[in-house]
Amino acid sequence: MREARHPEVDEITLTGVMAALSDPIRVGIVRVLADGRERGWGELRVPVAKSTLSHHLRVLRDAGLTRTRQEGTRCYVTLRREDVQARFPGLLEAVLAAAEEDDVGHQVTVQPGPQRA
């Protein structure tokens, strides 16, 4: 596992963000992260294979929506809310509100276990 690359704020593209958020599962992941808390990989409860989850997290990271931090063999992910807000003001808020309204990505939850970093 080599260091993951994160795009700079000004490298974030609109179509990249839109494409990343056109999948219900990825929207669900973003919703779970919307409270600002950092979540552990294993804390995420997503009804897909782990390779698929890895793929989705990569898409979100490449789009500039999330940041992944590694600590030993585990990794933790956070939402880049301020960065996205700085790049595209109001966009993420609107998407989150819309997703909440329709419960998009409800398949994604977090394990309420004591998994603090």
Binding site for its own copies (CB under 8 A): 13-15, 18-19, 21-24, 27, 87-91, 93-95, 97-99, 101-102, 104
Sign of CA dihedral 39, 27, 64, 84: negative
Q: Which is nearer to its own copies, 69 or 103 (CB)?
A: 103
Write down the least CB distance from residue 92 to its own copies, Å.
Answer: 8
The CA-atom distances, in angstroms, between 39 and each of 18, 26, 76 are 23, 15, 5
CA distance linking residue 32 with residue 95, whole number of Å: 13
Among DNA, its own copies, none, the one that 25 touches (CB under a kind-dependent 5 to 8 A) is DNA
30 lines the binding site for DNA (CB under 7 A) = no
Question: Which residue is associated with the tokens 């992941």?
Answer: 29
DSSP H or E run through 109 = strand 109-110
Q: Which is nearer to its own copies, 75 or 91 (CB)?
A: 91
Q: In this structure, what DSSP letter does residue 107 have?
A: T
Q: Report phi then psi at 39, rounded to 5.
A: -120, 145
**Binding-site string for DNA from residue 46 to residue 65, where x marks contact by CB under 7 A and - marks none:** --xxxxxxxxxxxx------
Q: Which is nearer to its own copies, 25 or 53 (CB)?
A: 25
Size of the site for DNA (CB under 7 A): 27
